[in-house]
Chain A
Amino acid sequence: MSHARIAPDRGPPGPLLKAGLEARGPKIAAPLEVRDLRTTLFTRRGEMKAVDGLSLTVGAGETVALVGESGCGKSLSALSIMRLLPDPPARIVGGEVRLNGRDIVALSEDDMLDVRGKEIGMIFQDPMSSLNPVATVEKQIVEVLTAHADLSRSAARARALELLELVGMPDAARRLDAYPHQLSGGMCQRVVIAMAIACSPSVLIADEPTTALDVTVQAQVLALLKKLQADAGMAMIFITHDLGVVAETADRVVVMYAGRKVEEATVDDLFEAPLHPYTVGLIGATPTPGAERAERLADIPGMVPPLNALPQGCAFAPRCKRVMERCLGERPALRETAPGRLVACFAVEGG
């Protein structure tokens, strides 16, 4: 509710800290700073480190892509940041998630209700299942609005219409009274986006937002997200397995493997000179239209190991082309090879 805005734990440090950092130069306090985040799944088959020490900073107006294959922990990272983990089995066991300067890991669920939707929004892969099938579009958007602001019914309805128009919903006025099943996948995703940005959050997490959509609709939704982000200066985390989408949307890229960050770089650096053998493999395995036709795609042998059976050393070692003796027994730490350029690999260090 609206009184959360002046909650004592948030009020004083936020603006002051921000002003202080701004004064020091270009490094403005980022809307989202994740430090050493650890999420563990407690299951019958043992404890699995689903997110193992993830650090991540997303600046205002910046898009950071979180890339990796299924099971690498990218979605659980997002759910951890949103504090939407299914508990049990998943629990955050360490680290900080600083949202606009405030660590939200320790917040109570009641406080989180005020944070979600207002300061941080999320879009999921399957738009159909993230909407309530028995509520109209209007009702669902209005619910978000009235949860975080004191709006009259008519004002909320007017704002809902405004939002639908903003996300490019065709025939928006009529769609207010529609139910999700009457809309196409692309239109549903627009409704979900409208709900996510309804309260102008400073951080938006998009988890595979276009994976279920057709390619022309995907292009529409990507263009829409870019525009909304640029207009509002939102910080965005874009989770995807599709390197094409990464190249089109991201400023910076974080590559994850088996719960850990293995490489971080600007999008240009990553595609031009990938360092980690896993990143090299991913790029080689992705066909690029227009390029000379390769005889074969560079495939990565084997598959992602299950989290409860991670190898002792580097988790990628069993599939790695550059594996060395050292990789089997020791886990490489993230090292900064250049400002903002991180990689966790012994072979890169040695060469």
Chain B
Amino acid sequence: MSPSTSPSGSSSASLLSLRDVHVRFNTAAGVVRAVSGVSLDLAVGETLGLVGESGCGKSTLGKAIMKLVPAAAGEIRVEGIDIAPLGRAELTDMRRKVQMIFQDPYGSLNPRSTVGRSVAQPMVLAGWKPDAIAARLETLLGWVGLPSEAKQRFPHEFSGGQRQRIGIARALALGPKLIICDEPVSALDVSVRAQVINLLEDLKTEFGVSYLFISHDLSVVEHIADRVAVMYLGTLVEVGGRDQIWRTPQHPYTKALLAAAPIANPKIARMRQRTVLQGELPSPLNPPAGCPFHSRCPIAQDRCRSERPELRPVSNGAQAACHFV
């Protein structure tokens, strides 16, 4: 979908550009390095999937882009503007361009506000006139497939899938260019999940909105994303086109993730040989020295324990951070 197919995002069409972003949390137990040194570009009209297991920092990265958590170092640019120094007023402007939807739509809606009020809130904050808000509200509910009378009702009257539609309507209110979707379908049933995925794709076709699609579900990301970034313990281990990542994964962690993902086809599932990755994600409080993956990596060598690999172009045209691919 991206206008130019250059694999390393050229800055011209870059909607979002991250350079060496770090996010740290000070806790009683020490400093948690949730995101350490992520560089990434997202082009206009592109869907970028961000995959990884819990604790890998993918949601934190999403929040850092929204400036909901502060980045400790590095640069986050939205349409070329660095968001770090922005004040309150300028931030409002930035958030008009970048919106977010969350995994638990119930937790992200005020239970005591009507749906109409929740969806209208961004427009109220942006200083729209009441009649403009009312008209827009109708349009938004129509787009996400909710009846007009939904606006007088409360979140608890809706099912999970409908609540996610409400969240999407609210995110669309100000005509954003980028929507950060943080596990938007993980809490939904299979049939409803497909409805929401199709809705997101329709909205993209219609409005050219870009998505940063954060998910642990590889089959969903494979379906929706143009490009995929794989994250492990706060760093990117592989970034590439959807097919590059799925057909010819290079990084051992990407390979392990794909091997672990269940495939809804018993014949294929039986045929493939699975190398089950041993161990679990190390604590980001105390990440291993060198390559963050070396403690679980099947091909780790001495060099991996001391020297941290950088993302670099590899044979399949993608980029991977591994000394041995």
Whether the pair A282, B191 counts as a contact (CB closer than 8 A) is: yes
Q: Which of B220, B246, B278 contacts A290 (CB 8 A)?
A: B246
Q: Which residues of B contact A (CB under 8 A)?
A: 53-54, 159, 161, 189-195, 197-198, 201, 216, 218-220, 222-223, 246-247, 256-269, 274, 276-281
Report the bound CA distance from A294 to B193 in whole Å: 15
Q: Which of A216, A244, A268, A298 contacts B277 (CB 8 A)?
A: A216
In the complex, which residue of chain B has the Cβ closest to the Cβ of A284?
B194
Report the bound CA distance from A69 to B161 in whole Å: 13
Contacts of B220 in A (CB 8 A): 287
Is A220's CB within 8 Å of the partner chain B?
yes
In the complex, which residue of chain B has the Cβ closest to the Cβ of A212?
B54
Contacts of A267 in B (CB 8 A): 266
Contacts of A276 in B (CB 8 A): none
Whether the pair B223, A293 counts as a contact (CB closer than 8 A) is: yes
Contacts of A246 in B (CB 8 A): 264
User: How far does the Cβ of A215 sit from chain B's closest Cβ, in whole Å?
Assistant: 5
In the complex, which residue of chain B has the Cβ closest to the Cβ of A242?
B262
Contacts of A218 in B (CB 8 A): 260, 262
Supposing A186-B280, A216-B53 touch, asked if A243 and B264 sit within 8 A by C-beta, the answer is: yes
Contacts of A286 in B (CB 8 A): 190, 194, 219, 264
User: How far does the Cβ of A4 sit from chain B's closest Cβ, in whole Å?
Assistant: 38
Whether the pair A282, B246 counts as a contact (CB closer than 8 A) is: no
Chain A residues bordering chain B, tally (CB within 8 A)? 47
Whether the pair A289, B258 counts as a contact (CB closer than 8 A) is: yes
User: How far does the Cβ of B200 sit from chain A's closest Cβ, in whole Å?
Assistant: 11
Report the bound CA distance from A223 to B274 in whole Å: 10
Whether the pair A247, B265 counts as a contact (CB closer than 8 A) is: yes
Is A12's CB within 8 Å of the partner chain B?
no
Closest 6 CB pairs of A and B: A244-B262, A285-B194, A219-B260, A300-B191, A287-B223, A299-B194
Is A271's CB within 8 Å of the partner chain B?
yes
Report the bound CA distance from A300 to B198 in whole Å: 11
Whether the pair B256, A216 counts as a contact (CB closer than 8 A) is: yes
Whether the pair B190, A247 counts as a contact (CB closer than 8 A) is: no
Is A130's CB within 8 Å of the partner chain B?
no
Report the bound CA distance from A95 to B264 in whole Å: 33
Is A261's CB within 8 Å of the partner chain B?
no
Supposing A214-B216, A216-B256 touch, asked if A285 and B262 sit within 8 A by C-beta, the answer is: no
Contacts of B267 in A (CB 8 A): 268, 271
Contacts of A313 in B (CB 8 A): none
In the complex, which residue of chain A has the Cβ closest to the Cβ of B202?
A296
Whether the pair B219, A288 counts as a contact (CB closer than 8 A) is: yes
Whether the pair A281, B189 counts as a contact (CB closer than 8 A) is: no
